[in-house]
Chains A and B, each alone.
Chain A
Amino acid sequence: MTQGLVPGSQSPALRLRDLRREYKDVRAVDGLDLDVAIGECFGLLGPNGAGKTTTIEICEGLNQPDAGVVEVLGLTWAKSADQLRRRIGVSLQETQFSEKLTVEETVGLFRSFYGTGPSVALLLEQVQLADKRRGRVGQLSGGQRQRLALAIALVGEPELLFLDEPTTGLDPQSRRQLWDLIAGFRSEGRTVILTTHYMEEAERLCDRVAIVDRGRIIAQGTPRALISDLGAEQVIEIAVAANDGVTPVAPAAAAVQAGVPGVLDTRVEGSVLSLRVERLHTSLPSLLDVLRREGIQIEELRTHAPTLEDVFVALTGRHLRDE
């Protein structure tokens, strides 16, 4: 159905080499390399301000790089802008469509710019907005607006979809609904490149992710590979209780490092001590012994399997989102 499925297509969907973009006092993109294969769902994961949006807008032809190579579907914006605009679909971060138009009028407007593509009715069916088609855009909820943006991204039957934070600010239910839709595009054979700062979104949707920080890619691979590269099977987080106004986190960390087997890494954040361990069942009993011996009270103890968030923390020492 889409050209992306044609076997033997030579060019990758996206090729970036040493991409650079500087604003007044910030290096938004600072020497970024990236390859995305046809048919892949690829995620750019990183905190706000990491350079994800600048990178994706350069790929969409909406922003000019200061230096570097940008090839989209084997073409460059300088030579083939018109063709590229016909072949890609875009959902920007927070576009507000005209509130006075109805849903179907809005999709119809965008549909009119493309020679071929699915009908408005079909598109609205696909994003589950068929019952809202005569409703004004101003009346839609956040999740419905994001689905409208997706329908509009699909009007030209694109081979390559760029989705910039497609689920930011949505409630969990709307987010899951969008995930199902995006997973659907992927199974239709389209290439999807999305940005997100939700690690569960990247883990759930993406074949591969690149972790972006300060305008560079600091790690990339499949979510599973990135996580297993941590070498950790489990993460333990202990909230240390205060004792006479003092929270003895540092002594706790020192004691754990000295006396608990199988600890790969300890990290202190406020009153929380966070450990990456090889095996929960060997580390946890001795951890509890050590803390009891040192007289350290535990306020809360949690364990979880490591996520991309833990990968990011391990690589940068910071969290994806400031919470």
Chain B
Amino acid sequence: MSNLPRPGLRALILVRFREFFREPEAVFWVYIFPILLATGLGIAFRSQPAERVPVGWAEWTNRRPDLFAALEGDSSLVVTRFADSASAARALRNGRVTLLVLPGPDSLRYRLDDTRPEAAAGRLRVDDALQRAAGRLDRLATGNEIVRERGSRYIDFLLPGLLGMNLMGSGIWGTGFAIVDARKKKLLKRLAATPMSRSDYLASFLLAQLVLLCLEVGTILGFGVLAFGVPVRGSLGALLLACTIGSLAFGGLGLLAAARPRTIEGASGLMNFIMLPMWVLSGVFFSASRFPDVIQPVIRALPLTALVDALRAIMLEGASFAGVGRELLVLTIWLAVSFALALRLFRWQ
């Protein structure tokens, strides 16, 4: 054993693996949980033809059986009749109908909540059906060509997000917890009393993380490709590079969070404080562009946003190294800064 170079570093890396794989919870959160989450969300948001729009018909205003028949004949609508205004209002409020049609003798009124996107879409469809029934003629003949492409489904959007989020979790928790736990147990202090190279100790976390990273990316990506046919259109090399730099940047943040705290509670608070904004803002589950323009520069500077954006660009849009240059730069800056700070602040006792 001691004939090979750096026996200390190799022994430390081996310890990292043993500690990780002997902790069933850690294995669950890193490998099983993202797969369960992807399966659940993939099924819930699976692509399907547009649903029929539920519409309410007010019977108490003025009966127009001709228009009602036209509405009921439209296959994209489900019509419910309401005898009184109160029950109609209740159905509208709880979303059982998206809009209410109030027929008059020569006119129509729609009652709807304009902040609900499905209400506006429903209004167009209802209006179209009723206008035609009333005798409107279309000047242009129209038809649809249906295209359902891989890469535009929710699961395709979600999987790169989950992969990024998982790399953040395993990078920050994996490094941070192990170090604070060792400090709390005075194991760090005991190690500091040996000739162990202190940089070897810190390096062992990152090197072990790189090996575990391959398993993690392989598991999640492999699952996405095999189970849901998620595409990987761009360069696989660029994908692995983005994952590696991203994972190391999160490892650096974990090291930083663990540089000082003496208790697990203190470190968890710090790690959650680092991760929470990214869970919310970085566009794991929905596009980060939904947030106001003012905070977009901040969101785009977060490491998880950079990683998730890069992964989506590579997997869904077929980007190469050059296409994700900005994101890789953001991640590299996080990596360098968090490391430099962590090494300055690190407390062995």
What is the CB-to-nearest-CB distance from A160 to chain B, in angstroms, rounded to a whole number? 12
Q: Which of A85, A98, A108 contacts B187 (CB under 8 A)?
A: A98
Could you tell me the dominant secondary structure of chain B's interface residues? helix
Q: Which one of B152-160, B191-199, B323-331 is at the interface?
A: B191-199
Contact with B along A56-94 (1 / 0, CB 8 A): 000011110000000000000000001001101010101
How far apart sit A63 and B186, CA to CA, in the bound complex (Å)?
13
What is the CB-to-nearest-CB distance from B278 to chain A, in angstroms, rounded to a whole number? 29
Residue contact B195 to A62, C-beta cutoff 8 Å: no
Residue of A nearest to B190 (CB): A95
Residue contact A112 to B193, C-beta cutoff 8 Å: no
A207 contacts partner chain B, Cβ-Cβ < 8 Å: no
What is the CB-to-nearest-CB distance from A59 to chain B, in angstroms, rounded to a whole number? 11
Contacting residues, chain A, for B187 (C-beta < 8 A)? 95-98
How far apart sit A82 and B349, CA to CA, in the bound complex (Å)?
18
A100 contacts partner chain B, Cβ-Cβ < 8 Å: yes
Q: Which of A82, A85, A109 contacts B12 (CB under 8 A)?
A: A109
What is the CB-to-nearest-CB distance from A60 to chain B, in angstroms, rounded to a whole number? 5
Residue contact A95 to B18, C-beta cutoff 8 Å: no
Contact with A along B1-36 (1 / 0, CB 8 A): 110000110111001001100110000000000000
Residue contact A105 to B15, C-beta cutoff 8 Å: yes
What is the CB-to-nearest-CB distance from B329 to chain A, in angstroms, rounded to a whole number? 38
Contact with A along B195-232 (1 / 0, CB 8 A): 11000000000000000000000000000000000000
Give chain A interface residues in 23-49, CB to chain B under 8 Å. Answer: none
Contacting residues, chain A, for B46 (C-beta < 8 A)? none
A156 contacts partner chain B, Cβ-Cβ < 8 Å: yes
Residue contact A62 to B10, C-beta cutoff 8 Å: no
Contacting residues, chain A, for B195 (C-beta < 8 A)? 82, 85-86, 113-114, 156
Residue of B nearest to A60 (CB): B193
Q: How many residue pairs, one in A and one in B, have C-beta atoms under 8 Å apart?
A: 68
Q: Which of B11, B19, B185, B349 contacts A108 (CB under 8 A)?
A: B11
Using known A-B contacts A62-B192, A85-B195, A92-B190, determine if residue A115 contacts B2 with beta carbons closer than 8 Å. Answer: yes
> Using a Cβ–Cβ cut-off of 8 Å, how many residues does chain A contribute to the interface with B?
27
A185 contacts partner chain B, Cβ-Cβ < 8 Å: no
What is the CB-to-nearest-CB distance from B69 to chain A, in angstroms, rounded to a whole number? 73
Q: Which of B2, B10, B349 contacts A63 (CB under 8 A)?
A: B349
Tell me which of A109, A110, A112, A152 has the highest count of chain B C-beta atoms within 10 A of its own C-beta. Answer: A112
Contacting residues, chain B, for A62 (C-beta < 8 A)? 189, 192-193, 349
A181 contacts partner chain B, Cβ-Cβ < 8 Å: no
Contacting residues, chain A, for B8 (C-beta < 8 A)? 112-113
Residue contact A100 to B18, C-beta cutoff 8 Å: yes
Residue contact B19 to A100, C-beta cutoff 8 Å: yes
Using known A-B contacts A85-B195, A109-B12, determine if residue A101 contacts B189 with beta carbons closer than 8 Å. Answer: no
Contacting residues, chain B, for A156 (C-beta < 8 A)? 194-195
Which chain B residues have a beta carbon within 8 Å of chain A's beta carbons? 1-2, 7-8, 10-12, 15, 18-19, 22-23, 182, 185-187, 189-190, 192-196, 349
Q: What are 9 A-B interface contacts by the 8 Å CB criterion?
A: A62-B192, A62-B193, A88-B193, A98-B15, A105-B18, A113-B11, A114-B195, A152-B190, A156-B194
Which chain A residues have a beta carbon within 8 Å of chain B's beta carbons? 60-63, 82, 85-86, 88, 90, 92, 94-98, 100-101, 105, 108-110, 112-115, 152, 156
Other CB < 8 Å A-B pairs besides A95-B189, A98-B187, A105-B18, 19 of them?
A: A62-B349, A82-B195, A85-B193, A97-B187, A100-B18, A100-B22, A101-B15, A101-B18, A101-B19, A108-B11, A109-B15, A110-B194, A113-B8, A113-B11, A113-B194, A113-B195, A115-B2, A156-B194, A156-B195
